[in-house]
């Protein structure tokens, strides 16, 4: 199915991935999605999320997209996969089986693709937790779910 068809109405279940990038201080990179995105435009989200192409596995796709969106090549560590569904207004939905990965990079390494990303920065974990508590509507639903699980089940892997 095309990307558009996968996200129409309630969404069709399809493969996806999410990547979280941390720096040496333990801060997490978030991006503000382009206003050209049909689902959750201008929302803040994790470093990179997308879909594998036909014949491409999740890790290959994640490497391809972080290079395209952030201009970086990083080693990725697989954390977990999960299934979720989230609706965006009357526009469409995500309905994904999502692989979650982490990697490490520094701000000086990042060269954002302005077609994909309006803004980006590294957030200290405590600041992100406060933001998610006080301004949850500014963040993508998958990022909020993934962040909580990363903190609860995978915090030991966040150290480089």
Q: Tell me how far apart the alpha carbons of residues 118 and 39 are, in angstroms, rounded to a whole number.
A: 15
The domain in which residue 33 lies consists of: 3-158
Q: Is the pLDDT of residue 8 over 80?
A: no
Average pLDDT over residues 142-146: 97
Q: What is the CATH number of the domain that holds 75?
A: 3.90.79.10
CB within 8 Å of 1: residues ≥ 6 apart: 12, 14
Q: State the total domains in the chain.
A: 1
Q: Which two tokens stand for residue 97?
A: 């089986």
83 touches 96 (CB < 8 A): yes
Start-to-end CA span in the chain (Å): 38
Average pLDDT over residues 125-152: 97
Name the pLDDT band for 158 (thresholds 50, 70, 90).
confident
Residues acting as catalytic residues: 49, 96
Q: Tell me how far apart the alpha carbons of residues 71 and 53 are, in angstroms, rounded to a whole number.
A: 19
Q: What confidence tens digit (pLDDT) does each residue in 43-85 have?
A: 999 999 999 999 999 999 999 999 999 999 999 999 999 999 9
- Residues listed for the chain: 160
Q: What confidence tens digit (pLDDT) does each residue in 101-115 have?
A: 999 999 999 999 999
């Amino acid at each position: 199915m095309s990307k558009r068809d996968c996200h129409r109405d309630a969404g069709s279940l399809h493969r996806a991935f999410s990547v979280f990038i941390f720096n040496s201080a333990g801060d997490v990179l978030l991006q503000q999605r382009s206003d050209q995105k049909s689902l959750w435009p201008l929302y803040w989200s994790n470093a990179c999320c997308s879909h594998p192409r036909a014949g491409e596995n999740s890790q290959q796709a994640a490497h391809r997209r972080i290079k395209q969106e952030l201009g970086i090549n990083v080693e990725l560590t697989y954390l977990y996969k999960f299934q979720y569904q989230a609706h965006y207004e009357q526009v469409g939905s995500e309905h994904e089986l999502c692989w979650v990965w982490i990697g490490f990079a520094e701000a000086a390494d990042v060269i954002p693709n302005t077609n994909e990303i309006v803004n980006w920065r590294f957030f200290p974990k405590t600041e992100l937790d406060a933001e998610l508590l006080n301004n949850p509507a500014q963040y993508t639903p998958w990022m909020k779910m993934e962040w909580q699980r990363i903190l609860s089940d995978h915090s030991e892997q966040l150290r480089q």
